[in-house]
Structure 1
Amino acid sequence: MANPKTDSETATPERALRLAQDVLELEADSVRDLVKRLGDDFIRAWEICLACRGRIVVTGMGKSGHIAGKVAATLASTGTPAFFVHPGEASHGDLGMITGEDAVMALSNSGETGEVLTILPLIKRLGVPLISMTGRPDSTLARAADANLDVSVAREACPLNLAPTSSTTASLAMGDALAVALLESRGFTQEDFARSHPGGSLGRRLLLRLEDLMHSGDAVPAVQADTPMRNALLEMTLKGLGMTAVVNEERQVLGIFTDGDLRRSLDRQLNVHNTPIRDVMTPAPRTVNREMLAGEALKLMETQRINQLLITDTNGRLVGALNMHDMLRAGVV
């Protein structure tokens, strides 16, 4: 396939930069213009979504369909159950996905998209509320809706005023505005967000607890206070956490010996064969419980500039350990 022709007189870096700046300014203006249109229809759309006992079924064709898919995803991830249905498929069986407890949101810049208008009678027959998002408040779709979100734009950012650019940006922003308004109204929290994003870093920080990440049992490096440094170093090497806990006979934590403590000991030219670990350990280290969230533990480690944590039970007995590498492997960092 041949490349589109280029006009050597206009195809310059300076012109490309000016066009890009124009696009961003036009799209930013289109979004700003939406603010003054927020009113009764937006509140009605918000009320419909808030009262919906089922799901918000979002639909749209072409570029509006792509935006509709994103709007549905944003709603679903912020506490408002939603999914996308292709309008062309809806009239061939997928309309069965919509129940009487759902609400429908239809996106069409013209408000006259044939595939969307085809399913309007079926939506009305189901008796579910309809929210439209159009660029023409007098269109067929807007008039049929219980609430119409006006996303009209002065012009597209495309120099030909043809390709959906400003209009799709405006629709996307309006969808975000509705989703965020609903988010706050539902009391949606970080923990709720994490539960719907368990695979993300935030989800792992807010859902994982130290008991899910820590080394336990024989994998925890631990020596008693009278252990020679040499033996403590062997324990550190064997367990591979860059430290060892120092405990008493009841496994209550007395101190910790880390790579940093080792460097300081070597600077003092201590004899590693006969110096007991109690003389070189860091006494009374910070310990945490196994129920602590990984995100809280990470913040603690960053604030106190430590790379390892000892986990103890309510009696101060050592039950686990982890280091920053464990956080990295778990995707918490």
Structure 2
Amino acid sequence: MASVPALADNFDFAASGRRVLAVEIRGLEAIAARVDGAFGQACRLLLATRGRVVCTGMGKSGHVARKIAATLASTGTPAFYVHPGEAGHGDLGMITDADVVLALSNSGETDELLMLLPVLKRQGNKLVAMTGRADSTLATAADIHLDVSIPAEACPLALAPTTSTTAALALGDALAVALLEARGFTADDFARSHPAGTLGRRLLLRITDVMHAGDEVPRVRAEASLSEALLEMSRKHLGITAVVDDDGRLLGLYTDGDLRRTLDDAAIDLRATRIAEVMTRTPKSIGLEALAVEAAQLMEQHKISALMVVDAERRVVGALNIHDLLRARVV
């Protein structure tokens, strides 16, 4: 293990951290003051493009450009990242004449980016540059320049990109969110591009995706005995059974909890008692077209652990319990 420098013994790490954050906050405030007409022009250009937004940059600017591309793509603006060095060796073929290029360079003099300018201009690509120098080669060559110059880097040596990368990242977020709002992008739209995430599951997963259907649904007729109902519950392993009429419409529900209450009554004869006498009448149910998250909310609201799924005629078409929702990671 490497030895700890003697200076670290009495070093105030918290004070250093607060200083960095204060410097970066001042940098963001400086950027916010310059979100003006050029920002609006860039948004309109990105919104109107028939192609994609191609984000590019070298080094730390490349990492920021990659993140901006990911944020744009997940919020409704088709975008991807191209490494400028690789672009000069064949990846330029990924960029079509319908695309807009968003190039990041704090100095505005990154060789790998400048090398691409003649090709992009000849192809007719619009160029949005995000730099810290308005008089740089990249800034002056761009159709729209976004000034991300900052008062100071948080690095005390003014060497490591710190405030400058934070500023570029934040302005990229501002572009993505402004475009999101202008498009009328909704939570449902977001979920469609994040189907594996928690939000995607909550907004896309439907009752039909998690419910038990067909022969897996526990149900008995109203004239069935309590013992017959218990056998049905045991066979279907859901801890419930629906009680239905001759047309399959939901009349009531019998659950494990109902069974415990029934057994407390010594006068109950399991074979002679009809399920209709001990079932829960007008039970909570959910429609076939509902989202799985709506079932979770209904269970939580009414402190229940299972639901029958019914169609528009209240015919029982499915069943689910809290374990089905847990397995689907809806709750």
Q: TM-score range by the shorter chain?
A: over 0.9
Counterpart in the other structure of 1:107: 104
CA distance, structure 2, for counterparts of residue 170 and residue 64 of structure 1: 11
Mean Cα deviation higher: 66-75 or 261-270? 261-270
User: Pick from 286, 289, 313: which aligns with 1:288?
Assistant: 286
Deviation at 1:244, TM superposition (A): 1.3
CA distance, structure 2, for counterparts of residue 248 and residue 223 of structure 1: 9
Q: Give the 3 Å change call, closer, same or farther, for CA 270–172 of structure 1 in structure 2.
A: farther
User: Pick from 234, 246, 251: which aligns with 1:249?
Assistant: 246
Counterpart in the other structure of 1:300: 298
> Number of aligned pairs?
330
Checking the alignment, whether the CA contact within 8 Å between 1:226 and 1:277 is kept in structure 2 is yes
TM-score, with structure 1 as normaliser: 0.93
Checking the alignment, whether the CA contact within 8 Å between 2:26 and 2:151 is kept in structure 1 is no
Mapped pair 1:309 → 2:307: yes
Deviation at 1:305, TM superposition (A): 2.7
Counterpart in the other structure of 2:36: 39
Checking the alignment, whether the CA contact within 8 Å between 1:220 and 1:239 is kept in structure 2 is yes
Structure 1 stretches of 4+ moved >6 Å: none
Counterpart in the other structure of 1:234: 231
Counterpart in the other structure of 1:8: 6
CA distance, structure 1, for counterparts of residue 291 and residue 175 of structure 2: 31
Checking the alignment, whether the CA contact within 8 Å between 1:313 and 1:319 is kept in structure 2 is yes
Deviation at 1:82, TM superposition (A): 0.3
Mapped pair 1:91 → 2:118: no
Deviation at 1:292, TM superposition (A): 1.3
User: Pick from 192, 195, 217: which aligns with 1:195?
Assistant: 192
CA distance, structure 2, for counterparts of residue 162 and residue 201 of structure 1: 40
Deviation at 1:154, TM superposition (A): 1.7
Q: Give the 3 Å change call, closer, same or farther, for CA 267–143 of structure 1 in structure 2.
A: farther
Counterpart in the other structure of 2:327: 329
CA distance, structure 1, for counterparts of residue 280 and residue 216 of structure 2: 21
Structure 1 unmatched runs, 5+ = none
Structure 2 unmatched runs, 5+ = none
Checking the alignment, whether the CA contact within 8 Å between 2:216 and 2:236 is kept in structure 1 is yes
The alignment partner of 1:198 has SS state of coil
Counterpart in the other structure of 2:130: 133
Checking the alignment, whether the CA contact within 8 Å between 1:265 and 1:280 is kept in structure 2 is yes
What code does the residue aligned with 1:250 have? D
Mean Cα deviation higher: 20-29 or 96-105? 20-29
Mapped pair 1:210 → 2:226: no
Percent identity between matched residues is 57
What code does the residue aligned with 1:294 have? A
Deviation at 1:37, TM superposition (A): 0.5
The alignment partner of 2:289 has SS state of coil
The alignment partner of 2:67 has SS state of helix
Measured on the aligned residues, the alpha-carbon RMSD in Å equals 1.8
CA distance, structure 2, for counterparts of residue 263 and residue 149 of structure 1: 69
Counterpart in the other structure of 2:65: 68
What code does the residue aligned with 1:213 have? V
Q: Give the 3 Å change call, closer, same or farther, for CA 233–22 of structure 1 in structure 2.
A: farther
CA distance, structure 1, for counterparts of residue 266 and residue 7 of structure 2: 75
Checking the alignment, whether the CA contact within 8 Å between 1:228 and 1:272 is kept in structure 2 is no
CA distance, structure 1, for counterparts of residue 165 and residue 219 of structure 2: 60
Checking the alignment, whether the CA contact within 8 Å between 1:104 and 1:128 is kept in structure 2 is yes
CA distance, structure 2, for counterparts of residue 268 and residue 193 of structure 1: 53
The alignment partner of 2:254 has SS state of strand
CA distance, structure 2, for counterparts of residue 53 and residue 133 of structure 1: 21
Checking the alignment, whether the CA contact within 8 Å between 1:257 and 1:282 is kept in structure 2 is yes
The alignment partner of 1:316 has SS state of coil
The alignment partner of 2:128 has SS state of strand
Deviation at 1:103, TM superposition (A): 0.2
TM-score, with structure 2 as normaliser: 0.94
Checking the alignment, whether the CA contact within 8 Å between 1:202 and 1:332 is kept in structure 2 is no
Deviation at 1:276, TM superposition (A): 2.8
The alignment partner of 2:251 has SS state of strand
Mapped pair 1:158 → 2:155: yes
Checking the alignment, whether the CA contact within 8 Å between 1:209 and 1:294 is kept in structure 2 is yes
User: Pick from 307, 317, 320: which aligns with 2:318?
Assistant: 320
CA distance, structure 1, for counterparts of residue 138 and residue 179 of structure 2: 23
Checking the alignment, whether the CA contact within 8 Å between 2:30 and 2:151 is kept in structure 1 is no
1:249-292, CA deviations, whole angstroms, 9 ceiling, x for partnerless residues? 22111111223323333344453624332233211112222111
Mean Cα deviation higher: 273-282 or 176-185? 273-282
Mean Cα deviation higher: 37-46 or 219-228? 219-228
